């Protein structure tokens, strides 16, 4: 009987390990918080009522590097009483300063949070640049935040900044890669469960629409942005 219990225990542990591998979970660097690698797919996270997974049939979606559940999520930021990001000041990887004023020139700003070691994050950056090129005329901007570019001491990690610069050159992006400030964008970045995570901000600096966890194809992002743009205009 004891042998049977041990055998069942081994089977249970093996099953858990198999699920982790299938989900693509991986270890993160020390300065990247609790971020791990996640699988393809999609889930929906309801900000008002916890997390709720749902299958999505969209094509061309890629994985995400995540802490929590495996797959893409959508955490609704809109609704009653829009949340403001407040005042902040961050520098990009080239030392240029950015504040909340950067949102004022666009009806909608797409904020894409990523890490330099996240393959799905890196792979979708060229598409995000194309998205910006195609939709800037509609009042849409794209901003990147390099989550692992800040160390545990609250200062920029120069090695990561160097990698981010090389990434920007290699992908040819023109939108800024920002380094988190010591306050992590007034705490907003501390709520991230997975990378890439993308959220949207209106011209008043308010969070609008949904938060999307995981990478997507260019066509999928176009559809998402069109939807969020309509919501921001209301």
Residue ranges in the chain modelled with pLDDT below 50: 2-3, 5, 7-27, 29-30, 37-61, 66-71, 78-80
Would 168 be classed as within a structural domain? yes
Helical packing angle, 119-135 and 218-233, nearest 10°: 60
The residue assigned the tokens 């990147």 is 144
Q: What is the pLDDT of residues 63-84, one digit of tens each?
A: 555 443 334 556 555 444 579 9
When divided into structural domains, the chain yields a total of 1
Residue among 57, 31, 218 nearest 142 (CA)? 218
Identify the CATH number of the domain in which residue 145 sits: 3.40.30.10
Q: Residue 50's Cα: distance from chain center in Å?
A: 18
> What is the span of the domain harbouring residue 152?
24-233
The answer to whether 57 and 31 are in contact (CB under 8 A) is no
SS3 call for 84? strand
75 neighbors 207 (Cβ within 8 angstroms):
no
């Amino acid at each position: 009987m004891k042998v049977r219990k041990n055998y069942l225990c081994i089977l249970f542990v093996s099953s858990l390990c198999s699920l982790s591998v299938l989900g693509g979970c991986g270890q993160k660097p020390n300065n990247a918080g609790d971020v791990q690698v996640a699988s393809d797919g999609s889930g929906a996270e309801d900000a008002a009522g916890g997390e709720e997974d749902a299958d999505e049939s969209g094509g061309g979606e890629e994985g995400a590097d995540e802490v929590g559940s495996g797959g893409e999520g959508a955490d609704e930021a809109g609704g009653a009483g829009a949340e403001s990001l407040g005042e902040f000041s961050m520098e990009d990887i080239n030392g240029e300063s950015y504040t909340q004023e950067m949102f004022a020139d666009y009806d909608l700003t797409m904020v894409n949070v990523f890490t330099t070691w996240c393959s799905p994050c890196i792979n979708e950056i060229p598409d995000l640049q194309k998205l910006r090129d195609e939709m800037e005329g509609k009042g849409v901007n794209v901003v990147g935040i390099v989550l692992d570019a800040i160390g545990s001491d609250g200062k920029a990690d120069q090695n990561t900044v160097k990698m981010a610069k090389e990434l920007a050159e290699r992908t040819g992006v023109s939108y800024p890669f920002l380094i988190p400030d010591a306050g992590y964008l007034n705490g907003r970045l501390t709520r991230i469960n997975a990378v890439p995570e993308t959220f949207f901000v209106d011209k008043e600096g308010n969070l609008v629409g949904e938060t999307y966890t995981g990478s997507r194809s260019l066509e999928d992002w176009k559809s998402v942005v069109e939807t969020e743009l309509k919501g921001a205009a209301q």
